[in-house]
Amino acid sequence: MNTMTEIGIYLIQTVANIYLLFVLLRLLLQICKANFYNPISQFLVKATALPMEPLQKVFPSFGNFNTACLVLALIVQIIAIQGSALVYNGTLIPIVLLLSWALLGIASLLLNIYYYGLFIVIIISWVAPQSRHPAIALLWQLTEPVMAPIRKLIPPLGGLDLSIIPVFILLHVLRIIVRNFAASMSLVPSFVPGIM
């Protein structure tokens, strides 16, 4: 791979990863009923508003699940994957493979959001447990629905919350499954945003 090709793919992947993160965070925060007036929530809505408006007219929401967000994430993935393939060697990826890779990339990024989000929440609970920063508030709102069912099964012991351990194990197992699916589909990691 020559230098310009590598730079081109890097730029496509970086922009796509950042924008996908915005879109998927908007989706997850809406599902979790996070504080809409939080400045970060407002930023995510504004950053994704332009492409979301026409999509929302075609793809309705079901309760808190915004299907337009998921469709937008798929579109961004498909553009990034096909764009990277064109920059690399000018080939078109078959549509079934393109959709499969896009879905795997989205699944991987969703798992990474929770995996690293929970890790950050743990660190913050040790370092700054009383912090009122808007990002920390959203992280709590995002991770609590995942933690609450496990916390019912494994209540805190003497102030120590061990429920995070099975959640991390489950997330890691799911990441392994996604990675193996990706390998079985001959997925090219450098073409797919969100793949770990």
Q: What is the DSSP letter of 128?
A: -
Going from N- to C-terminal start, the domains of the chain cover: 3-191
- pTM, rounded to two decimals: 0.90
Q: What's the pLDDT tens digit per position in 171-189? A: 999 999 999 999 999 888 8
pLDDT tens for each residue of 49-64: 999 999 999 999 888 9
Name the burial class of residue 180, with classes exposed (0-12), middle (13-18) and buried (19+) by CB atoms within 10 angstroms of its CB. Answer: exposed
CA distance 50 to 60: 16
In tens, the pLDDT along 107-132 reads 999 999 999 999 888 888 778 777 77
191 touches 84 (CB < 8 A) = yes
C-alpha torsion sign, points 152, 61, 109, 100? positive
10 Å Cβ neighbour count for 124? 16
Task: Give pLDDT tens digits for 81-96.
Answer: 999 999 998 889 999 9
Closest by CA to 163, choosing from 142, 177, 143, is 143
> Can you give the pLDDT at residue 1?
73
**pLDDT on residue 196:** 65
